[in-house]
């Protein structure tokens, strides 16, 4: 004992104070751009955003690139998806694919702020966020949440509209393999009936305008399955909103 306190308690107190100071400093010290390594800069500097995040004409309902004069792609005309609209900020390509991987798999939830700013700068994103009643993040399975430590879609949704984010209404009722490992037909089959609206909370969805948030849209199988669950519970309008779209 030293002065009535144990050495362990003093060490714990000092460690806590050090962590608090380090966190405060990290919020004020300028960072280096993760793409071009400019210093000082935002996590992605303005020049790199201008270079790598130019808006593209995209299909209104699946966010795939289309010619400037086209509103909806042929696939969505032939078989309309369960989304009324879909917004994607960028292509899932360099540098965004690597940054999203860092966000999801390297315990870097702080990237959500950068991605939210990128999304808010995307045509049609801000009007969709303003008009919606709820932001619903794509839920993770219990197994994947335990492995990753956080739900990247939930953190992103809270950065976009914290007051409208509802992470309880939509639940994942079965785990599925990572979609990037499957062919399109297998993806569609694997997520069939994977999502449901909590029956005790269905009134929150009925007649509402919803923005369904995820990080990446590949085939659309997962976000379409989630949209079908929301639609079956009476959602009036559903917009899919993702950081990146594979092309």
Better pLDDT: 238 or 6: 238
Give the pTM.
0.83
Query: Read out DSSP for the chain?
Result: -BTTB-HHHHHHHHHHHHHHHHHHHHTTS-B--TTT--SSB-SS-HHHHHHH-----B-TTT--B--TT-SS-HHHHHS--S-SEEEEEEES-TTHHHHHHHHHHTT-TTHHHHHHHHHHTSTTHHHHHHH-SEEEEPPPPHHHHHHHSS-HHHHHHHHH-TTTB-SSSEEE-S----GGGS-HHHHHHHTTT-EEE-GGGGGGTTT-EEEEEEEEESSSHHHHHHHHHHHHTT-SEEEEEEEEE--
Quick one: pLDDT band at residue 71, thresholds 50, 70, 90? very high
Mean pLDDT of the chain: 86
Quick one: pLDDT band at residue 63, thresholds 50, 70, 90? very high
Asked if 244 contacts 217 with a C-beta cutoff of 8 angstroms, the reply is yes
Asked if 231 contacts 238 with a C-beta cutoff of 8 angstroms, the reply is yes
Asked if 83 contacts 136 with a C-beta cutoff of 8 angstroms, the reply is no
What is the mean pLDDT of the segment spanning 147-168? 95
pLDDT of residue 114 exceeding 70, the answer is yes
pLDDT at 61: 97
Domain 54-245, CATH class in plain words? alpha beta
Q: What are the backbone angles phi and psi of residue 53, rounded to the nearest 5°?
A: -130, 35
pLDDT of residue 54 exceeding 80, the answer is yes
Which of 26-40, 136-150, 172-186, 215-229 reaches the highest mean pLDDT?
Answer: 215-229
Q: Report the percent of the chain where pLDDT is more than 70.
A: 81
As beta bridge partners, residue 212 has 136, 240
State the Cα–Cα distance between residues 230 and 23, nearest whole angstrom: 39
Better pLDDT: 22 or 46: 46
Question: For 163-199, how does the pLDDT look when each residue is reduced to its tens digit (9 = 90+)?
Answer: 999 999 999 987 665 655 655 555 555 677 889 999 9
- Nearest Cα residue to 216 out of 88, 95, 34: 88
State the Cα–Cα distance between residues 176 and 190, nearest whole angstrom: 6
As beta bridge partners, residue 85 has 239
Domain range annotation of the chain? 54-245
| C-alpha neighbours within 13 Å on the C-beta side of residue 213 | 29
Question: For 1-40, how does the pLDDT look when each residue is reduced to its tens digit (9 = 90+)?
Answer: 444 444 444 445 445 544 444 444 444 455 789 999 998 8
Residue carrying the six token digits 């984010």: 165
């Amino acid at each position: 004992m030293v002065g009535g306190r144990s050495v362990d308690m003093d060490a714990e107190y000092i460690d806590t104070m050090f962590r608090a100071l380090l966190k405060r400093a990290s919020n004020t010290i300028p960072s280096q751009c993760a793409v071009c390594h400019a210093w000082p800069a935002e996590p992605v500097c303005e020049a790199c955003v201008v270079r790598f995040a130019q808006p593209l004409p995209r299909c209104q309902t699946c966010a795939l690139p289309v010619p400037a004069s086209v509103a909806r792609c042929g696939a969505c005309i032939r078989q309309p998806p369960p989304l009324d609209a879909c917004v994607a900020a960028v292509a899932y390509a360099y540098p965004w694919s690597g940054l999203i991987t860092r966000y999801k798999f390297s315990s870097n939830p702080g990237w959500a702020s950068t991605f939210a700013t990128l999304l808010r700068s995307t045509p049609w994103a801000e009007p969709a966020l303003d008009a919606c009643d709820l932001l619903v993040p794509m839920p993770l399975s219990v197994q994947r949440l335990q492995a990753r430590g956080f739900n990247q879609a939930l953190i992103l949704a809270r950065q976009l509209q914290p007051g409208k984010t509802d992470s309880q209404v939509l639940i994942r009722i079965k785990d599925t393999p990572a979609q990037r490992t499957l062919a399109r037909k297998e993806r569609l089959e694997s997520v069939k009936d994977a999502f449901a609206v909590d029956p005790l909370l269905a009134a929150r969805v009925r007649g509402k305008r919803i923005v369904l948030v995820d990080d990446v849209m590949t085939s659309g199988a997962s976000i379409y399955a989630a949209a079908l669950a929301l639609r079956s519970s009476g959602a009036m309008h559903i917009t899919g909103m993702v950081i990146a779209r594979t092309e």
